[in-house]
Structure formats: C-alpha cells, structure tokens
C-alpha cells in the first residue's frame, strides 16, 4: 500500500488501513468519552476503591477520551493523542479488572467471563491500536524505506 505524504523512515506514513483504524478509534473513544460524561454511574461503580474521588476521575477520563479522539484527527496532535490514549487504556485496566474480579453488576446485570476474559485480554491490543493508528509505531508492519 502506498503511504500518504510522510518522510522516509517516519512511522506516521498513513496507509488506508491506518487511516481507517485511526478514524474508527477516534469514533470509539469519542463515543466512550461522551458516555463517561453523560452516564457515569457504571464507570463509577467499577472504579477501584483506592481511586480517590471516583466521580471526578470518571469525568476527567471522559474529557481525556474526547480530547484524544479529537487529537487523532488533527495531524499536529496525532502522535501525542495516540500516546495519551495508549496510556489511558493502560490506566483504566484496573477498573476493568475490578469489574471482572468482583463481579460488579451494571444495571443489575452480571457479566460472565465470556465478556470479561476477552475484554481484559484485548486491552494490550487497544494500547497497540492507539500507537499504530496515530503513527507512533509501525510494529508489526515494517515501514517501507526504513533502515532498521
């Protein structure tokens, strides 16, 4: 696939799959951020007890998701947004683990390990997705013209 306007050796070379992945990730984080801001109760419920001021933290994470989603679409901020969203996905992992291990019901519904297992296992993929879609890394797809 032909990269779109990038310097030689620059991992931000944007192929069609990378652009689609970036837009999809931006849409997902934008939606999730809006849900964090408008319907925070479920997120507050799964926040570990050691996190101070969970309502504020959930609101701030919603803002971070919306900002990251926007940043992915602005070339100047794209890589910073990718790193930020990757770190965000790492930082919310304890809430996902807390949700699973403590079987926290959301709206009265208990989710099985058929939900929690894949969700926890895919967290590293979400971290990679943010880094790859934003052009921070080419791994595992080596860029053309690179001299590694």
- How many helices (H) does the chain have, and how many strands (E)? 7, 0
DSSP letter (8 states) at residue 144: T
The candidate with the shortest Cα–Cα distance to 135, out of 25, 5, 20, 13, is: 13
Query: Helices 54-72 and 78-91, interaxial angle, to 10°?
Result: 150
| DSSP string for 58-104 | HHHHHHHHHHHHHHHTSGGGHHHHHHHHHHHHHHTHHHHHHHHHTT-
pLDDT of residue 148: 39
Q: How confident is the model at residue 144 (pLDDT cuts 50, 70, 90)?
A: low
For residue 140, say if its preceding peptide bond is cis, omega within 30 degrees of 0. yes
**Phi and psi at residue 48, in whole multiples of 5°?**
-60, 150
Domain boundaries, the chain: 16-133
115-120 mean pLDDT: 94
Average pLDDT value over all residues in the chain: 89
> How many whole angstroms from its chain centre is CA 25?
7
pLDDT band of residue 145 (cuts 50, 70, 90) is: very low
pLDDT, mean of residues 20-31: 97
Least confident of 1-10, 87-96, 135-144: 1-10
């Amino acid at each position: 696939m032909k990269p779109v306007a990038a310097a030689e050796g620059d991992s931000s070379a944007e192929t069609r799959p990378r652009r689609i992945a970036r837009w999809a990730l931006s849409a997902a984080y934008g939606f999730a951020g809006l849900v964090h801001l408008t319907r925070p109760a479920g997120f507050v419920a799964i926040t570990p007890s050691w996190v101070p001021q969970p309502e504020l933290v959930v609101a701030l994470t919603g803002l971070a998701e919306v900002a990251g989603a926007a940043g992915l679409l602005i070339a100047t901020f794209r890589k910073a947004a990718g790193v930020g969203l990757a770190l965000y996905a790492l930082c919310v992992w304890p809430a996902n683990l807390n949700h699973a291990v403590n079987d926290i019901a959301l709206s009265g519904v208990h989710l099985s390990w058929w939900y929690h297992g894949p969700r926890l296992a895919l967290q590293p993929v979400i971290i990679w997705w943010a880094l790859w879609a934003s052009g921070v890394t080419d791994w595992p797809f080596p860029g053309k013209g690179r001299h590694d």
